[in-house]
Amino acid sequence: MLGIGAYRPTRLVSNAEVCETLDSTDEWIFERSGIRNRRYISGDESARSMAVAAGERAIINSGIPREKIGAVLLSTLSWKTKIPQGAPSVAFDLGINGVAAVDLAPGCSGFGYGLGIASDMVRSGSSEYVLLICVETLSVVLDPTDRNTAFIFGDGAGAVIVGPSEENGISPTVWGSDGENAEAIGQSYDIIEYMDRAQEHQALDPDTDPVNRMVVTMQGPRVFRWAAITLPKALATTLADSGVSVDDIEVFVPHQANARINELMKKNLGFGDHVAMANDIENTGNTSAASIPLAMEEMLATGKAKGGQTALLLGFGSGLTYAGQVVTLPPNPTITSL
């Protein structure tokens, strides 16, 4: 990873604000998740504008001429259209129209999946440099009264430039999926059902028969049980396949889904206090695919981590999917989101 960039929406939403519509308290939310605040888009901000801003910063921080970028990978679950996909529009906005551009949708594992694909593209010679952007606007697909999801998710974007180097800085990706538990994280309607409901709504009185929004859903206990079984194996395999030991890890950047789960993973791995661990969730929330690059950028920008250190990454979420790597952290950014 040769450069990193990020964008955080300007609107900061506290637990107290969330609890204006959610039957909960600031204390309950923080105790169970480690979240105090999250960011929501506002004004002219959008998934597209955030993706472009994060990508632009990654390009500048890398020092790589944009004309050498051969591909754009955009990982997102919350782009407002399926047709067209977002990556070509983002590439155009960044001044690199014409490059290979494609969307990925593995949810909270999006950065790990994208990093694995990007590094393999560079190694194979398909592209000399790849721009990976992860962006989410989950605030627009939340039910503000749902105690399973309303306080967890936020918006943001993170990006990295992946390119060749004399020493390997990205290990083989350890990834997998569990379709048997796919419905543990989903949406309230499939697209066809939602379209049918909307069409029916046109002939009815909207005051007496409103169409419910399509929102994200999550079975928290089911996801937790899956994570408790799957993630320890994934972490162990990631370390083994990378050829490094626990003692070699200097920074731990897990997906920012739950601070309590992350503390437990760090303890179970045997990491000492000298291993810095990302805790971006406290003031950013869970930003799905954007979670890991945002957390890395925050650590590098604040000095909690330094470029060149060895880090263990692990993303997990909808699908259900997971993806992990051991990486060399990119250089500290000169242009940051903080």
Cα 137 to chain center, whole Å?
A: 11
Encoding tokens for residue 88? 């070509």
Give the whole-angstrom CA distance, residue 283 versus residue 50.
18
End-to-end CA distance of the chain: 20
E strands in 138-226: 155-162, 174-177, 185-187, 216-218
> Are the CB atoms for 281 and 151 separated by under 8 Å?
no
| 255 part of the active site | yes
E strands in 53-99: 69-75
Q: Hey, how many other C-beta atoms are within 10 angstroms of the C-beta on 4?
A: 29
Give the whole-angstrom CA distance, residue 138 versus residue 146.
14
Catalytic residue among 258, 262, 279, 286: 286
Rg (CA), the chain: 19
Catalytic residue among 61, 108, 258, 279: 108
Phi, psi of 7 (to 5 degrees): -140, 130
E strands in the chain: 3-7, 11-14, 37-40, 69-75, 100-104, 129-137, 155-162, 174-177, 185-187, 216-218, 251-254, 276-277, 310-317, 321-328
Catalytic residue among 61, 134, 255, 279: 255
| 286 part of the active site | yes
Give the whole-angstrom CA distance, residue 9 versus residue 41.
5
Q: Which residues are catalytic?
A: 108, 255, 286
